Amino acid sequence: MNTKCKYGYLLRFLVTLIIAMAVVATRIVVLVTAQQTAEPLTGNWVVRTSNNDGTFRTTYLNLTQEGSRITGTIRVTQFFYHITENTGGPDGFTLTASMMDGKSERKVQYEGKLGGDELHVSTRRRPTDNPTQMVAVRAPAGEGALPARNPLPALHKVPDNGLARTPPMGWNSWNKFAGRVDDPTVRSIADAMVSNGMKDAGYLYINIDDTWEGSRDAQGNIQTNKKFPDMKALADYVHSKGLKLGIYSSPGPNTCAGYEGSYGHEDQDARTYAAWGIDYLKYDWCGARTLYTDEEMPALYQIMGDSLLKTKRPIVYSLCQYGRLDVWKWGADVGGNLWRTTGDIRDAWDSMSRIGFNQNELADWAKPGHWNDPDMLEIGNGSMTETEYKTHMSLWSMLAAPLLAGNDLRSMNPEILSILTNREVIAIDQDKLGKQAKRVWQSHDQEIWTRPLAGGAQAVAFFNRAPDTANVTVKWTDLGIDGKWKARDLWLHQDVEWAGPEYSVTIPGHGAVMLRLRR
């Protein structure tokens, strides 16, 4: 074979090889493309729901479909779930997704099907819930992903800000108004607090809870949403009434209601609050759980504790993380003036009494500047009786708890106002010694709690947790009270004759009797 012929074969062989490779490659591309088009649920899907204040709640379903298997994640603004179970396909599927929230598992279920370019889904937390219907559309890959975890600072003791020497008193928007709070409401609540005598009785803070937040501007500054056109002007107004203004945020990327949190913007937000004239911050864990564990809470709360101090403005710092990780043991160290000890209160005897009577073990952690917070008052919200609301006020005052009214101050009846403004009971709550009451006696559903007061006085509260009237007779010495005292009934506003070593009292069902004893 001559050289020319040899090269001819080689050339033909190479051309054939290239053609064969091209055919195989094309087949692979065709196959992969076919596979992709056969997996129509794969992709990043988004549902945007308007909050009607210029902000949106978002749900991202980041799905990968491989045959009958659907995996991926679901982010509902402040929650981040992993899909753990699935059935079905594009014509009808069910997904169960789960996340850990501290020690408890939170689950959510989605049912849906593909309709053209849209994913029609309905969601519910429990099988008995009414499903919420939504339509998701395709979003660019990566949109809605969680931000990266910022490194945590080493722990140190945040210096005491010197505020809240007695438990804070005021009003908070959440229990009554939730997402409906807005600028005009806050102004009219401030007006009411002054005109109805609450301010004179000691109520001071007007606290805006969740849902005031807008988005961030190009420099990362937090803005208000449409409900609060000018926070500085609102603060000026509240201040002009001799009151103080509080606000709310989260150490996480989002708040509990899914609004913008302070994550990664702590110094900047604290400076914004100070510039607006904010006097109180409630800082709610919620959205931080997508990135951090409960054990990491102190570091995240410390960041904002430091940020608030740096502003040099006196801002009361209220920790809200539902009492997890025994917050009473470290709340003061991260700069907290008060810390929630429980989950959310509801306007119901069961909720209020379960929370209130469960605070005994925490008594020794309360002190001037640093208080246990069994959550805001529900007095006047309508689902408890006046007797029960008196018990709520009595118990919270015995507990040296913050007294943050949670009702509509513009439209309450005189009985509710007189419960909230009972100065003799408020004086127990605000006692300078700052000692939280303890349970000293219990028999069936009746309990007696006592609290030492400044100047050697004491408060004694007799509670009846049963629904029917109860008669209680006790020896004062069984309550640790020796000798003769002058007693005053703080709800009847009259002195009580000291009748010797025993005391008998009739307590209405779910009711309370409160005495102040002095030598």
Which residues contribute to the site for ligand GLA (CB under 6 A)? 174, 209-210, 255-257, 284, 320, 344
* Helix/strand/coil for 481: coil
Q: Which is nearer to ligand GLA, 160 or 344 (CB)?
A: 344
Specify the residue for token string 């007799």: 462
* Residue 336 phi, psi (nearest 5): -70, 135
Cβ neighbours of 319 (radius 10 Å): 29
Q: Which is nearer to ligand GLA, 248 or 449 (CB)?
A: 248
344: annotated active-site residue: yes
Separation CA 144–CA 79 (nearest Å): 12
Q: Which is nearer to ligand GLA, 74 or 247 (CB)?
A: 247
* Helix/strand/coil for 199: helix
- In Å, how far from its chain's centre is CA 242? 27
User: Quick check: 421 and 478 in contact, CB under 8 A?
Assistant: no
Q: How far is the CB of 210 from ligand GLA (least distance, A)?
A: 3
Q: How far is the CB of 414 from ligand GLA (least distance, A)?
A: 28
Q: Which is nearer to ligand GLA, 176 or 465 (CB)?
A: 176
Please tell me which residue in 279, 284, 408, 429 is annotated as part of the active site.
284
Q: How far is the CB of 439 from ligand GLA (least distance, A)?
A: 25
Measured at CB, which residue is nearest to ligand GLA?
256
Q: What is the DSSP string of 402-437?
A: -EEE-S-TTS--HHHHHHHT-HHHHHHHT-TT-PPP
Q: Which is nearer to ligand GLA, 296 or 344 (CB)?
A: 344
Separation CA 70–CA 173 (nearest Å): 42
Q: Which is nearer to ligand GLA, 104 or 413 (CB)?
A: 104
Q: How far is the CB of 396 from ligand GLA (least distance, A)?
A: 15
Please tell me which residue in 267, 344, 445, 489 is annotated as part of the active site.
344
Specify the residue for token string 């609290």: 451
Q: How far is the CB of 323 from ligand GLA (least distance, A)?
A: 10
Specify the residue for token string 């040296």: 400
Separation CA 350–CA 341 (nearest Å): 17
Cβ neighbours of 118 (radius 10 Å): 14
Separation CA 100–CA 104 (nearest Å): 6
Q: How far is the CB of 285 from ligand GLA (least distance, A)?
A: 8
SS3 sequence, 49-83?
EECCCCCEEEEEEEEEEECCEEEEEEEECCEEEEE
- Catalytic residues, which ones? 284, 344
